[in-house]
Structure 1
C-alpha cells in the first residue's frame, strides 16, 4: 500500500609507489569472536590514486553468496575492482561475490582488490558489513534459550503443512490481525523510526482487538545503515528498534511478521512511485545490490526465533514495466535484467536463497505481481524452498483489479488449495468496511488468514487507517475489522 505524502592495472604499475600495508585490526573479547573479519589494506598509493584489498573471513554458518559493504571516509572514489562485483553509491562501497567465489564455508576466507582515486585524505574505513552483519566486532555468545512451555500464552512456531499453517502440535492456525506501518518510511524521511508510539500500551491496544498477528514493514537502507540515512535512525539503532517492537508483539501473544517494503533502485517507468534511487518509495521489484544482504541480515537476526515470519517484498509490480505477463512472472521469480527496470533485480528465488542460506527455517511469505493482487501464475513460478515452509501472500483493496468473488474463486482458490494463503493487506478507501466484510467472509469460509491495513492514525479515506488513536479507538473503517476479530477470537 502507498503512504501519505511525505584491466588497467598494467597501465598504472609504472606510476605506483609501494607503501606499507594498512590493515584494520580485528577486535575480539575474551571468549567471543566476530561474526566475520575483514582485513583492509592499502597496498599501493600514488599521486591521485591507490590500490586496495580486502580479505573477508566468515566465522558463522556457511553462506552461498556474500556482499561486503563499507564506507569511504576521505572522499575516495572507486574506479575498478576484481574478484568481486564492485560498486559505489555515495560513500558506500559494495563488493558482491562473483559466480565462482560465492560459497564461503565457516572459517573460509576470500580476497578481492580494487583501485580508487583520492585527494587530501585516504582515511581507512572503520566499519564493514558482510551480508548486513557487522564485522570485526566481538559478539558475546548468546545464552541458550530456555525451552518454551507449550502451555504458555505466546505466539506459535508456524510451518506450512499442505495448504494449512500449523503449529508445533499440528493444529491449524490463522494469521488474523493488522499492519503497523511506519518503519518503512519515517527513517528514510529523517523523521524517526516508527510513525506514532510503539510502547507497550500501544501494542497492548492491538491485542485488545483480539488480533493475533502484527505485520511490520521495513526499509532496507535503514536496516543496513547506509550512509544516506541519518545514523540516529539507521543501522544498529533501527535494528534494535525493530527487535524491541517484535519482542513487544510477542509479549502480547501475537505473531510478528517482518516485511520488506521500500528498497533501493531507480525506476521511472510506468506507475513509478518516485524517481529517487534510494528506498523512498515502493519499487516494482527488489534490487540485487542490497536486498539479498538485507534478508541475510534479517534472517540471521531472527533465525533462532521461528515465531517470527518473513514477508519477502511488499507489492511487486514488474507487470507495469514488462511487455508481457510471462516476462513479469519470470522477473518475479528469477530477477536479473528485467525488461523496463533499469537496475538488476533480485527475484523471489534469490531472496528465498538468502534467507535459507543463513540456516533460518522461519515461515516465508511471497506476494505475487500487480501489487501482490495477482496470484494467477504463482503456483507455476513458485520459488523452490529447501525448508518447505513457503506461503503465498496477497493484497486487496476495493480499487484493485481482483476485487470480487469471481476473481477470487478463479485465481485465489487454486492457490489456497495447494499452499497456505495470507492476505497481508486488506482495506478500502471509503472510510467504511463493506468491502473488507466481503473479503473476510470469503477467507473465513476457507479458513484463511488476513491482516488489515493499517494501525496508524491517518485519514481513513486516503490511508486507509484502522484507528483514530493509538489507544485502539477505531475509525468507521476499523470498526469492521475490530468487531470481526473480537467475534472470531473473543
Structure 2
C-alpha cells in the first residue's frame, strides 16, 4: 500500500471495471512477411467494450498473430450500429462511414508469431452499441485458423520483431547484486491478492491467480514480480504461530509458476505491518516472537528455491504510539536484523539469497534513508537491496490543493527522492528497488489525474529511474491489467510506461486544444517537451499535416493554424472533433485532442448532504478542480489549509449524467448554515461560480 509523508495511509481496494460488451474473433488474415514467396497466415482478434455511458464508449482491441511474423499491419472492421470513433491510442484509426481502419503507429508495427498488439479507442453511439462481428488484417478476410497464404511483401522491409514473451532472464554474474537488480527491471506487483486481509486471495475482489495471468504479465515485458503476502489470518496461536499448510502451499505454487516463467520473484510480510507489527512499541516481545516464527517458516519453505527468489522483510513498516523517530529507527533496525539473521542461518540458497530491506514507511526522506544506511553498515552483507515506495508529490498524486499539472514542483519532488536513494545506496554499489510506484489517485480510478499530465509524469519517472539505475515495480491491484481479460484498462498509459523503460518520448504542454463553439477560430500554440528527441511532424489518422499550412514550429513552440483548426473541428459539435499525433524521433507519439466547447452552465438545485448533485451542461469541457470558500474568504470543507478540494473524494463530475456531485465527505466539514462559494475550474480555462448553503442535512445550490 502507498506510503507518502503527511498523508493518510490507505489500503488499496481493487477497482472494478465494468465490461459492457466483449467478443473474441478467431481470424486468419493476409500478413505482410518476408520469409519466402508465400507465408502462413492467421490471427485472433479480441474486441471488448471496457466501459459504456449514454452516447459514448471505450473499446480495447487486441490482435494476436497466429501465422508468420508481420511487419506492418492494418485492421479493418465495420460497426453494425453505425458507431463513430472519436479518438484512439496505440493505433491510427480512420473511418469511412461505418467502416473503420486501424493501422500501426511505427513502434508496434511488428507482430511476432503468437505475439499480440493492443490498442484502444473512444467512440460514440446512438440506439445500440453492438460489437463488430468480423475483422480483416492487411486486406485478407479472416479464415479462423492458420493455413492461408499471402504474397510476399512489396513494401516495408521486415524487421526482426521482439518476442512478446521474453525468454527467461539471463542470470547476472554470480555474486553481483547490482546486475541482478538491473535484470529485474521492469517489475510488477500482484496486488490485492495474497496480501488481501480475509479468508483467501479473493477477499478483496480479485479472482484466484492463474498461470495464464502470470504468462500474460510476462508477455507484457515485465522481468520481475512482487507477490505481497499477508500472513496474519493464516497461522496458528503462540508460541509456534504455525502457518496454515494450504496457504503456504498455495503461495509456493504461484511463486513456482512465476519462477518457471523466468521472473525474478519477491515475497514479503505485507499488511501484517499495520495489523500487528505496528504494536511493537508496547508489545515488543510478542511482536518479535511472532515475526521471527513466521520468517523462520517462510525461509525454511523456500530455502532451496533458485536465487531469482528474493525476500522482503516487511512492507511499509510503521509503529503506533512510539516515542518518536529514534524509537522507530531502533525497532525497524531490530526487525531487519532479526530477518537477516533468520534467513541467513536457514541454509541452502538462503545463505546468499538477495534480501530486501525497507526504510520506515518505505519513505525516501533523508532521515529515513540515513537510518537504513546505518542498518546496512551494521549487517555488512553485499547481498542486500534497499527499497522505498514512490507515489509522487501528494497534491498531484491525489489532485488536491490545485495540483492538476505535472509541473516543476512535481518533477523536483521526484528527482529529489530518487537522488537521495541513489546517493545513499546506488553510488555505493548497493542496489535499490522502488517496490511500489504509481499515483495515489489510482486507488479510485486512473481518471483522477488528467490523462496528458499523467502520461508526462510516468514518462519522466521511467527516464529518471533509468538515469539513477533504480529498478521499479508498478503497483497494480487489478485496476491496470485485467486479471481475466488480460487487457490494460488504459492502454495509452501502458504504452508510455513500456516506452519509458528503454527511451524517452516527446510530450507537450497539453494533450488538449480547446476551440470555442461559436465565433472566430484563432491559432493555438503548444509548448513541445522534446526530452532529447526531435519533432518529426503532425499526423491525423494516416494523413500527415502540412508544415507551414496546418502548423508551424519555432523552437519548441508548435502552433496550429486557424485554418487547420477550422477544418479539424468541422461542424463544431461539442467534444473531441479530431485527434492528432505529434511524432518524434523516438518513443511513443503524443496525442492531441481538438475539442469544441462552450463555457459550462450550472443550474439551481436542492438535495441533502448525503446526495447532492449540481445539474451541469459540460458542453464539451471537462472539470479540472474545485475551490470552496466561505463568505469571509476562508477555506471551506476538508483540507481547509487550501481552497482547492480533493478530486473524487469531495466532488466528482459525471459527464454521462450531466452532474457534478458534492460528496458527503465535503459537507461533513462544511459549517452548518454557512454559504459556500464554489469555483469550478475547467480544462479549457473557464471558471464557473456556484453557491451552496447547508442547513442541517438539507443543501441548497444556486448560481447566484
TM-score (norm 1): 0.53
- SS class of match (2:268): strand
Identify which of 365, 383, 396 aligns with 2:390.
396
- SS class of match (2:304): coil
Give the 3 Å change call, closer, same or farther, for CA 237–389 of structure 1 in structure 2.
same
Question: Which residue is 2:359 aligned to?
Answer: 368
Question: Which residue is 2:496 aligned to?
Answer: 480
Structure 1 gaps of 5+ residues are 7-151, 271-276, 278-283, 335-346, 459-464
Per-residue displacement from partner, 1:93-140 (whole Å, max 9, x unpaired)? xxxxxxxxxxxxxxxxxxxxxxxxxxxxxxxxxxxxxxxxxxxxxxxx
- SS class of match (2:229): strand
Please report how far the alpha carbon of residue 356 of structure 1 lies from its aligned counterpart in structure 2 after TM superposition: 1.1
1:243 aligns with 2:236: no
Whole-Å separation in 2 of the counterparts to 1:159 and 1:383: 24
Identify which of 471, 474, 477 aligns with 2:486.
471
Identify which of 467, 470, 474 aligns with 1:452.
474
Please report how far the alpha carbon of residue 385 of structure 1 lies from its aligned counterpart in structure 2 after TM superposition: 4.2
Question: Which residue is 1:273 aligned to?
Answer: none
Contact map agreement 2:187 2:223 (CA 8 A) in 1 = yes
Question: Which residue is 1:380 aligned to?
Answer: 374
Whole-Å separation in 2 of the counterparts to 1:403 and 1:175: 22
1:417 aligns with 2:427: yes
Whole-Å separation in 1 of the counterparts to 2:378 and 2:171: 21
Contact map agreement 1:426 1:453 (CA 8 A) in 2 = yes
Please report how far the alpha carbon of residue 267 of structure 1 lies from its aligned counterpart in structure 2 after TM superposition: 5.1
Contact map agreement 1:205 1:472 (CA 8 A) in 2 = no
Per-residue displacement from partner, 1:352-397 (whole Å, max 9, x unpaired)? 1111120112110011013444442121232744753111011000
Please report how far the alpha carbon of residue 159 of structure 1 lies from its aligned counterpart in structure 2 after TM superposition: 8.2
Whole-Å separation in 1 of the counterparts to 2:486 and 2:196: 21
Give the 3 Å change call, closer, same or farther, for CA 196–477 of structure 1 in structure 2.
farther
Whole-Å separation in 2 of the counterparts to 1:202 and 1:333: 36
Please report how far the alpha carbon of residue 211 of structure 1 lies from its aligned counterpart in structure 2 after TM superposition: 0.2
Higher RCO (CA-CA < 8 Å; seq separation 6+):
1
Contact map agreement 1:453 1:466 (CA 8 A) in 2 = no
1:252 aligns with 2:261: yes
1:173 aligns with 2:174: no
Per-residue displacement from partner, 1:35-82 (whole Å, max 9, x unpaired)? xxxxxxxxxxxxxxxxxxxxxxxxxxxxxxxxxxxxxxxxxxxxxxxx
Whole-Å separation in 1 of the counterparts to 2:291 and 2:314: 9
Question: Which residue is 1:3 aligned to?
Answer: 11
Matches within 5 A, 1:298-309: 298-305=298-305, 306-309=307-310
Give the 3 Å change call, closer, same or farther, for CA 287–156 of structure 1 in structure 2.
farther
Give the 3 Å change call, closer, same or farther, for CA 193–300 of structure 1 in structure 2.
farther
Whole-Å separation in 1 of the counterparts to 2:432 and 2:201: 35
Per-residue displacement from partner, 1:288-341 (whole Å, max 9, x unpaired)? 1321121111111222122211111110134x744443332222102xxxxxxx
Question: Which residue is 1:353 aligned to?
Answer: 341
Contact map agreement 2:316 2:358 (CA 8 A) in 1 = yes
Question: Which residue is 1:436 aligned to?
Answer: 458
Number of equivalenced pairs:
303
Question: Which residue is 1:198 aligned to?
Answer: 209
Question: Which residue is 2:224 aligned to?
Answer: 213
Contact map agreement 1:218 1:260 (CA 8 A) in 2 = yes
Question: Which residue is 2:587 aligned to?
Answer: none
Contact map agreement 2:355 2:384 (CA 8 A) in 1 = yes
Contact map agreement 2:393 2:414 (CA 8 A) in 1 = no
Per-residue displacement from partner, 1:221-249 (whole Å, max 9, x unpaired)? 3453559xxx9xx7121111111111211
Which structure has the bigger radius of gyration? 2
Please say which of residues 400-409 and 438-447 is displaced more in the overlay. Answer: 400-409
Please report how far the alpha carbon of residue 468 of structure 1 lies from its aligned counterpart in structure 2 after TM superposition: 7.8
Whole-Å separation in 2 of the counterparts to 1:387 and 1:323: 30
Please report how far the alpha carbon of residue 203 of structure 1 lies from its aligned counterpart in structure 2 after TM superposition: 0.9
Please say which of residues 206-215 and 178-187 is displaced more in the overlay. Answer: 178-187
Whole-Å separation in 2 of the counterparts to 1:391 and 1:286: 27
- SS class of match (1:365): strand
Whole-Å separation in 1 of the counterparts to 2:419 and 2:278: 34
Give the 3 Å change call, closer, same or farther, for CA 482–166 of structure 1 in structure 2.
closer
Whole-Å separation in 2 of the counterparts to 1:286 and 1:436: 42
- SS class of match (1:287): helix
Question: Which residue is 1:408 aligned to?
Answer: 418
Give the 3 Å change call, closer, same or farther, for CA 394–159 of structure 1 in structure 2.
farther
- SS class of match (1:422): strand
- SS class of match (1:289): helix
Give the 3 Å change call, closer, same or farther, for CA 325–384 of structure 1 in structure 2.
same
Question: Which residue is 2:517 aligned to?
Answer: none
Contact map agreement 2:389 2:436 (CA 8 A) in 1 = yes
Identify which of 159, 170, 178 aligns with 1:164.
178
Give the 3 Å change call, closer, same or farther, for CA 468–193 of structure 1 in structure 2.
closer
